[in-house]
Amino acid sequence: MLHLSTTDSLVVTLFVGLTNFIWLPIGGAISDRIGRRPLLLAISLLCIFTAYPAMHWLAEAPSFERLLVVLLYFSFFFGMYNGAMVAALTEVMPQNVRVVGFSLAFSLATAIFGGFTPAISTFLVQSTGDKASPAYWLMFAALCGFSATMVLYRQRNRSVADLVQAAD
């Protein structure tokens, strides 16, 4: 869609993979310090409000440099969010089903948002004529992450409150 070379795409993909390797442990470490919920919510909101402007900037004048900047920015979202999310998912799963529960949740999210992304992105571009429209799919994923975080931590807070009340 952006008419960039295969080499450009592969080089950018290599850099994204390398930065994911860096951002994931940083996201986990930050969430250890400030908590999972604040980091998950902040990254989700940042993605919701900046994904389209970033994609629009790329689509209006596609170049290797712009592709690199935008995808490294999205790599930051991925790494920071997943660094916290992996820990959050394992913490909320009961120990006797932790591996199955985590695997199911992570695989389902990867299948839906990863697996359908090329088809949905193509559909969005073709139906809207806007080369930046795949950002809507990313924003939807971020909205799902934001909503799931709110529900997850609301339920956890209720569980703690119920335990405290029962102890009184």
Question: Can you tell me the distance from the alpha carbon of 83 to that of 69, in angstroms, rounded to the nearest whole number?
Answer: 21
Question: What are 48-92's pLDDT values in tens digits?
Answer: 999 999 999 999 999 999 999 999 999 999 999 999 999 998 888
Mean pLDDT of the chain: 89
The share of the chain scoring above pLDDT 70, in percent, equals 90
Per-residue confidence (pLDDT) for residue 162, from 0 to 100: 52
What's the structural domain count of the chain?
Answer: 1
The angle subtended at Cα 123 by Cα 140 and Cα 40, nearest 5°, is 15
Is 1 contained in some domain? no
Confidence at 156, pLDDT banded by 50, 70, 90: low
Counted residue by residue, the chain has a size of 168
- The residue that leads in pLDDT, 4 or 82, is 82
Structural domain span for residue 50: 6-167
The share of the chain scoring above pLDDT 90, in percent, equals 67
Residue carrying structure tokens 């900046």: 50
CATH of the domain at 16: 1.20.1250.20
